[in-house]
């Protein structure tokens, strides 16, 4: 199966997202062509990356001076403290702008390493090798980098595009279903906000994604990346249209912060819950009809995903979430900026529905009715 190549272009930079199976051996050639002046490479490995993949990567880069940083990636270590620790190490090694940072891991590692690359000496070369389904369809696409604060998720960060993304689906075979669900949530979200035809394809083919069917996986990843890039290309710095990609995330980030970024609920599971809550809010505000919610619920039920939002069918649990909604990075005033769903494949525009905390509290009992 040949390598799929998706091109990202804006006024400042263009790069490729390469998608395929067992394609890591192209790394050496790509580094040579994209970063011809590079002498030192910092490899930031998620500690969860299997050693066989580390060996392949190191073999491809044996002509360079290598610095390895094994990152214990979790939402708590995705912090400014970790960033400054790594920056100190790279400065001691005298990394300069012509050198290269390669992030190898899931979404947290991709966000973290991309952020470090974007601020060290005002920007080093960066190549991203996402190793989870979530990072391949979300974190590695679009140039958002950043870390968490005690006030919320991803509140400290930058917009910085990589030189290259290599999405090798062979990494996915080492993932548990819970981790696959994490990435699937973003794939599903992309279909919900932009492509009803893709949503209907997922209705029929989700089982093949969870059974690691290479052809179906590559199609879903490519389709998902193209949808995300459609929004990113029109609004790189998320001033308006790109905010649509945050459908479900206002609730999701509140769920994660409230649970103190617990390992018991992944980002994707929070997004799955958040999309149901956002669709229910859409129904309450009469933006969508009950059929839209039922259509979404059908795909959850068919693929055993209902557990993700079960907790949030209780009034008291929704009430507990509300205080955590205020710090969402999309808010630019005292009201909460929600992306709501009109129908499968179409959302409201950003800034159309800004809802106060008091107004949201009045809606709580209606969430339970649906």
3-state secondary structure 62-120: CCCEEEEEEECCCCCCCCHHHHHHHHHHHHHCCCCCCCEEEEEECHHHHHHHHHHHHHH
Q: Decide which of 154 and 248 is more confident.
A: 248
Do 132 and 110 touch, CB atoms closer than 8 A?
Answer: no
Instruction: Report whether pLDDT(117) > 70.
Output: yes
Q: pTM (2 decimals)?
A: 0.90
Instruction: Report whether pLDDT(113) > 80.
Output: yes
Instruction: Report whether pLDDT(125) > 60.
Output: yes
pLDDT for the residue 332: 55
Q: Decide which of 352 and 150 is more confident.
A: 352
The tokens describing 365, both together, are 């009992």
For the chain, the first-to-last Cα distance in angstroms comes to 45
Q: Which residues contact 102 (CB under 8 A, 6 or more apart)?
A: 41, 42, 43, 44, 57, 113, 126, 127, 128, 129
Q: Decide which of 249 and 2 is more confident.
A: 249
Count of Cβ atoms closer than 10 Å to residue 163 Cβ:
21
Give the residue extent of every domain in the chain.
4-174, 177-369
* Cα 177 to the center of its chain, rounded Å: 17
Do 295 and 314 touch, CB atoms closer than 8 A?
Answer: no
pLDDT for the residue 162: 95
User: Quick check: do 4-174 and 177-369 share a fold?
Assistant: no
How many helices (H) and strands (E) in the chain? 13, 13
Q: Work out the average pLDDT over 254-281.
A: 90
CATH number of 177-369: 1.20.1090.10
Q: Work out the average pLDDT over 133-149.
A: 91
Local confidence band at 331 (pLDDT 50, 70, 90 cut-offs): low
Instruction: Report whether pLDDT(328) > 70.
Output: no
pLDDT for the residue 163: 95
Q: Which residues contact 361 (CB under 8 A, 6 or more apart)?
A: 319, 322
CA distance 274 to 255: 8
Local confidence band at 366 (pLDDT 50, 70, 90 cut-offs): confident
Tell me the fold of 4-174.
Rossmann fold (3.40.50)
pLDDT for the residue 8: 82
Helix H or strand E segment including 8? strand 4-9
pLDDT for the residue 95: 97
Local confidence band at 343 (pLDDT 50, 70, 90 cut-offs): very high
Instruction: Report whether pLDDT(6) > 80.
Output: yes
Q: Decide which of 266 and 328 is more confident.
A: 266
pLDDT for the residue 41: 98
Instruction: Report whether pLDDT(330) > 80.
Output: no
Measured CA distances, 336 to 20, 324, 358 (Å):
39, 11, 11
Instruction: Report whether pLDDT(329) > 60.
Output: no
pLDDT single digits (tens) 287-323: 999 999 999 999 999 999 998 988 888 888 999 998 8
Instruction: Report whether pLDDT(207) > 70.
Output: yes
CA distance 130 to 8: 17
pLDDT for the residue 1: 58
CA distance 103 to 80: 17
């Amino acid at each position: 199966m040949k390598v799929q190549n998706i091109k990202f272009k804006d006024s400042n930079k263009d790069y490729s997202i390469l998608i395929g199976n067992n394609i890591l051996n192209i790394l050496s050639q790509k580094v040579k062509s994209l970063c011809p002046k590079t002498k030192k490479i910092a490899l930031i490995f998620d500690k969860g990356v299997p050693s066989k993949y580390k060996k392949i990567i190191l073999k491809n880069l044996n002509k360079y001076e290598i610095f390895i940083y094994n990152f214990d990636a979790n939402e708590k270590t995705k912090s400014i403290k970790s960033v400054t620790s790594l920056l100190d190490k790279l400065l001691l090694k005298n990394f300069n702008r012509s050198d290269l940072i390669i992030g190898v891991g899931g979404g947290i590692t991709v966000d973290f390493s991309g952020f470090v690359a974007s601020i060290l000496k005002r920007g080093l070369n960066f190549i991203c090798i996402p190793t989870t389904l979530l990072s391949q369809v979300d974190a590695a696409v679009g140039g958002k980098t950043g870390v968490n604060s005690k006030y919320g998720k991803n509140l400290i960060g930058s917009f910085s595009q990589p030189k290259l993304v290599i999405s090798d689906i062979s990494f996915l075979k080492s993932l548990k279903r819970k981790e696959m669900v994490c990435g699937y949530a973003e794939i599903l979200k992309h279909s919900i906000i932009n492509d009803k035809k893709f949503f209907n394809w997922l209705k029929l083919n989700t089982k093949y994604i969870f059974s690691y069917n290479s052809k179906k996986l590559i199609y879903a990843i490519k389709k998902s990346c193209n949808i995300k890039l459609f929004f990113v290309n029109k609004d790189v710095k998320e001033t308006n249209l790109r905010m649509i990609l945050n459908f479900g995330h206002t609730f999701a980030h509140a769920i994660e912060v409230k649970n103190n970024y617990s390992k018991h609920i992944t980002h994707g599971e929070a997004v799955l819950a958040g999309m149901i809550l956002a669709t229910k809010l859409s129904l309450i505000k009469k933006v969508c009809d009950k059929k839209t919610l039922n259509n979404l619920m059908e795909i959850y039920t068919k693929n055993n995903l209902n557990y993700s939002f079960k907790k949030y069918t209780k009034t008291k649990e929704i009430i507990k979430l509300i205080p955590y909604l205020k710090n969402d990075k999309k808010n630019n005033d005292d009201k909460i900026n929600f992306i709501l769903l009109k129908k499968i494949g179409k959302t409201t525009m950003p800034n159309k529905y800004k809802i106060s905390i008091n107004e949201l509290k009045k809606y709580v009992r209606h969430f339970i009715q649906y």
